[in-house]
Amino acid sequence: MEHIIVYGSQYGSTRRYAEKLSEQTGIPAVSYKDASTLSDKDIIVYLGGLYAGGVLGLAKTLRGLSLQDGQKLILVTVGLADPSEPENQHNIRTSLQRQLPAELLDRAKIFHLRGGIDYQKLSFGHRTMMKLLYQSLQRTPFEKQTAENRAFIETYGKHVDFTDFRALEPIIQAIQRETI
């Protein structure tokens, strides 16, 4: 049985989760940029950082993939917004529907992890995007802001890290259930 962990990470938090998961399960982890064919893998675990709702590299990596009987797909998003907030989880799942065909999404097990951000390390493009979003949110009345937006305003310009490797435990268990 061959399994693979594929990750899409721009600034490293998703890569760190993927590497930890690899260490704990013995499944090799590769960046989506280096991933070869997935069709011969029994379990595919995809971890991707959230960027404006989209999961980095996900659509590109899974394009054209159709799961055969017995093949399993585990999707893990890594973002700043707290996934224990139902509203945030709902938003992530809605945007996953835009990125993947229903046949794949219906068969995937989905998990959400929290990453971090260091504004000093952002690319010029990302910093500009965040600034524009911050400015527009500042003009939105507090009571109209979503939990995600409030969290964004609180962490704007800072270095925060919510990475918690213990949150990998349910994912490890899901992988183990598929391999028994």
Ligand X SMILES: Cc1cc2nc3c(=O)[nH]c(=O)nc-3n(C[C@H](O)[C@H](O)[C@H](O)COP(=O)(O)O)c2cc1C
| Residue ranges binding ligand X (CB under 6 A) | 9-15, 49-53, 78-81, 115-117, 122, 126, 129-130
- Residue 128 vs 138, nearer CB to ligand X: 128
**Structure tokens belonging to residue 155:** 């962490």
Distances (CA, A) of 158 to 51, 56, 140, 173: 17, 22, 21, 34
- Residue 50 vs 65, nearer CB to ligand X: 50
- Residue 66 vs 94, nearer CB to ligand X: 94
CB of 87 to ligand X, least distance (A): 12
CB of 120 to ligand X, least distance (A): 12
Q: Which residues pair with 114 in a beta bridge?
A: 79
CB of 175 to ligand X, least distance (A): 20
Q: Which residues contact 40 (CB under 8 A, 6 or more apart)?
A: 2
Q: Which residues contact 75 (CB under 8 A, 6 or more apart)?
A: 46, 48, 55, 58, 96, 108, 109, 110, 111
Q: Which residues contact 6 (CB under 8 A, 6 or more apart)?
A: 18, 29, 30, 31, 32, 35, 38, 44, 45, 46, 47, 57, 61
CB of 133 to ligand X, least distance (A): 8
Which residue's beta carbon is nearest to the bound ligand X? Answer: 115
- Residue 158 vs 177, nearer CB to ligand X: 158
CB of 154 to ligand X, least distance (A): 13
Question: For the chain, first and last CA: distance in Å?
Answer: 11
- Residue 19 vs 178, nearer CB to ligand X: 19
